[in-house]
Structures are given as C-alpha cells and as structure tokens.
Amino acid sequence: MPATTAPQAADVALSGARPWSKTAGNHERAQQGGMPMAADGQHARTGPLAGITVVDVSRILAGPYCTLLMAELGARVIKVETPETGDDARHYGPFVNGKSAYFQSINRGKESIALNLKDADDKAIFEALLENADVVVENFRPGTMEKLGYGWDALHARYPRLIYAAASGFGHSGPDMTRPAYDMVVQGMGGIMSVTGHEGSPPTRIGMSIGDIGSGLYATVGVLSALYHRAITGEATKVDIGMFDCQLALLENAAVRFFTSGKAPGPLGARHPSITPFEAFETGDGYIIIAAGNDGLFRKLADGLGKPEWKDDPRYVSNPKRAEHVEQLKAELEAILKTDTTEHWMKVLDDAGVPAGPINDIGQAVNYPQAAARNMIVDVDDPITGPMKVIGNPVKISGFPDPTTRDPAPNLDQDRAKILKEIGR
C-alpha cells in the first residue's frame, strides 16, 4: 500500500457519522473555534471524534473513564444502564442535592437510556443502537455478555464494523479470567502497593484509583487504534483490556529492577530508586521536591545553593556516586533547605534551572494558576446540583476548542424518548 493511502483512507472512513446522529457536520464548526448547540440543548460534538458513536454498557470507573475520554474528544456516548438502579456509581458519594458528584465527574456529557438486556423489547432497542454504533464498551466479567447473546463473536458476525472493547479484571484469557476484581484488588495483585509508602509501613493504596484509571486509559488507546485500523482495512476488532495487565505495564523500572537483580524492590517513600537527588526534602516550613535528573542538573543545583564544591566532590561527581551516598547528600541538602521557606527555595531553584516543585494538597493543586491557564478546571451546570467544577481534558489538540463548560451527567433514562425517536421506535 502506498504511504499516502492510509491517511486518505482514514480521513474518509474513521468517522462513523450516522444519519440519525446529531454530531454530523460539527467538525467544520469546531475548526472555527465555536461551541454550537445541538437541537436538544446540549453542546454539539466538536472534537476529533465527532461523528463516532459509542454504546457504553460499562459501569463504575474503568469503562466509564474510557468513554469519558472519548466524549471529551467529541464522540457521542450513549450510556446503557440497568433500569431503576442504573450505574452503581450513581450511589457513590459525595452527593449534591441527591445527585452523585462522583458519577457527575465521570459521566458528564453522556446520554442515558435504561434497558433490561434480558427483556425482548429492550434487547431489540439495544440491537438497534448497535446497528448505528461504531464502538461498544463493556467491563463485565468475561462470559457475561456471551450469556446475554452479545459477546464478541456474536456481535462481530452481526455488526462487522462494530468495535468491541472489554475492560475486565484479568482480561479474556488466562486462569484468572473469570475472577471478580476491583481497583483495590489489582493494585494489590499487580505489585504497585508493594512499592508504595515507606519502608516498614503496611501495604499502602495509591491515593487514587490507578487500577481503574490506568485500565480506562489503555482501553482508550486500544479503541482509538481499532478505529484507525478499521478506517484503513474496514475490519472491526476486539479490544481486550485486563486491569491486572495494566498494573504490570505501569510498574516500569520497578519490574526492570526485579528482572535484573532477582530481588523484589520495596517502598522508598518519595525517593527515586536510582536517581539522586530526586525526592522530597524538608524546608523551613514544609517540603519541596527536587528532581536533579542528570549530572548537569546537579551541577546547577550545587551552584544555585552556593555549594560549587559539590561539583568536584568524589562522593557526588556522578549519579552512581550520589546514589551510593544518598543519605549523606540528603542531610547536607536539608541542612541548607531548612534555613528558609519552600517559597524562597522555589525561586532559587527556578532561577538556577533546576526542576523543583512544592507538594500541594488537592485544594492547592486545583487552584494552582497553571491549572486555570490550561483550562483544567471546568464547569458543569446541572439543574439538580447547580454549578459544579470538574477536572478538564488534558488532551489539547490544535484546531479544536477546549470549552470552559461541560454538559452534565444524565439522569437515569433521561434520553429514552430522543433515542427511541432516532431509531424509529
């Protein structure tokens, strides 16, 4: 195939815009930087995935985080939920006027229809949705969709252009395939808790749901790759994501250290296992992160702190030597840093060109000026909760707007009438 063929094919075939989709035509408006409104009062889809329709039967976090990212990039996401109760995440706090803020943050900008996939009439509606969809996302235990008649083999035979993405605890193969899992389970089993915390401390969970979020990110990469593959070949594929696999993939040099030494690494607190100085240091009023990731940066650090002699000190002349004398170097650094404030040392290190930063709590992080400058805190105006703030989209793509507002998460079954009308029922 000539090198120029693939992009041309992708330009034509990637979009799955359907006659009934309100996303068609939004790409051109997005290029002009506007935020058009669809006929239903929601913001029209303007990202690079405008025209792509995702049917989302996943719940809680791993699958919904994948579909959130796709919605942020312009896809239309139709969330299929269990009647009466809906997604489990609707019942997770905190709550604002009875609506879950947790659910709001992960499902904003999506649509909702409640379907019982064991009921004949609801199955017919679901199948009509799949007829017009580009992607279906699920995060059930393997075998669940097959029992409903909607496993990969059955769907691929009936909807040959439908991409099937599954995010489960252990993937769709292997001896643990059918085991149930949550984020906490795979954090423990995947080794990441064993290198988190301080030496001698009990097992420590990472402070956010890295098992779910990591799986959602990898699922998104898989779906986008599958969309591109379909654009080139016309062939839809199955994306099989195991949360346990994703935890292993995130181990990076912790796994490499085990493979090379045969010894399982343990927790080191804030310290990097092989780069020095690269950790948190105490100052006169708190802590500061210093990340001198190479010898050149260490020399800048030495000059900035008024210690030029460190550059020729045989203990500190190279990173391997500094790693051998990490405790001595830390003591010398903290003897200096404790004489003044974190704010003072931030200015000193910024002026010296040394990567450094304060250790912010969540409030400080979301209110940090850089977050506002990058539109990373956006507003959701929900008629039930009133205005709420959520985290924005970190993926900034030229030619597409990054609006300061988002549509709210749907109420359960909110979009039934509109969706049924679109599919002619």
Q: What are the structural domains, with CATH classification, of the chain?
A: 5-251+371-422 (3.40.50.10540), 278-358 (3.30.1540.10)
Question: Nearest CA to 242 among 218, 210, 277?
Answer: 218
Sign of CA pseudo-dihedral 269, 272, 277, 280: negative
User: What whole-number distance in Å separates Cα of residue 185 and Cα of residue 102?
Assistant: 20
Q: State the burial class of residue 4 (Cβ atoms within 10 Å of its Cβ: 0-12, 13-18, 19+).
A: exposed
Length of the chain in terms of residues written: 425
- Provide the 10 A C-beta neighbour count for residue 132: 18
Residue pLDDT tens, the chain, 425 long: 333 333 333 433 455 444 333 333 333 333 333 355 555 556 677 899 999 999 999 999 999 999 999 999 999 999 999 999 999 999 999 999 999 999 999 999 999 999 999 999 999 999 999 999 999 999 999 999 999 999 999 999 999 999 999 999 999 999 999 999 999 999 999 999 999 999 999 999 999 999 999 999 999 999 999 999 999 999 999 999 999 999 999 998 999 999 999 999 999 999 999 999 999 999 999 999 999 999 999 999 999 999 999 999 999 999 999 999 999 999 999 999 999 999 999 999 999 999 999 999 999 999 999 999 999 999 999 999 999 999 999 999 999 999 999 999 999 999 999 999 999 98
For residue 14, the model assigns a pLDDT of 54
Residue reference for tokens 């803020």? 101
CA distances from 292 to 198, 220, 279, 324, 354 (A): 22, 33, 9, 16, 7
- Provide the 10 A C-beta neighbour count for residue 188: 15
The token pair that represents 294 in the structure block: 């190479």
User: What whole-number distance in Å separates Cα of residue 405 and Cα of residue 392?
Assistant: 9
Catalytic residue (one of 156, 229, 272, 344):
272
Question: Nearest CA to 413 among 82, 133, 36, 103?
Answer: 82
For residue 201, the model assigns a pLDDT of 92
CB 76 within 8 A of CB 52: yes
Determine if residue 33 is left, alpha or beta; phi over 0 gives left, psi from -120 to 50 gives alpha, anything else beta.
left
Sign of CA pseudo-dihedral 34, 38, 41, 45: negative
User: What whole-number distance in Å separates Cα of residue 290 and Cα of residue 288?
Assistant: 6
User: What whole-number distance in Å separates Cα of residue 50 and Cα of residue 328?
Assistant: 56
Q: Which residues contact 217 (CB under 8 A, 6 or more apart)?
A: 65, 66, 69, 246
- Catalytic residue check, 156: no
User: What whole-number distance in Å separates Cα of residue 409 and Cα of residue 112?
Assistant: 9
- Provide the 10 A C-beta neighbour count for residue 420: 13
Sign of CA pseudo-dihedral 141, 142, 147, 150: positive
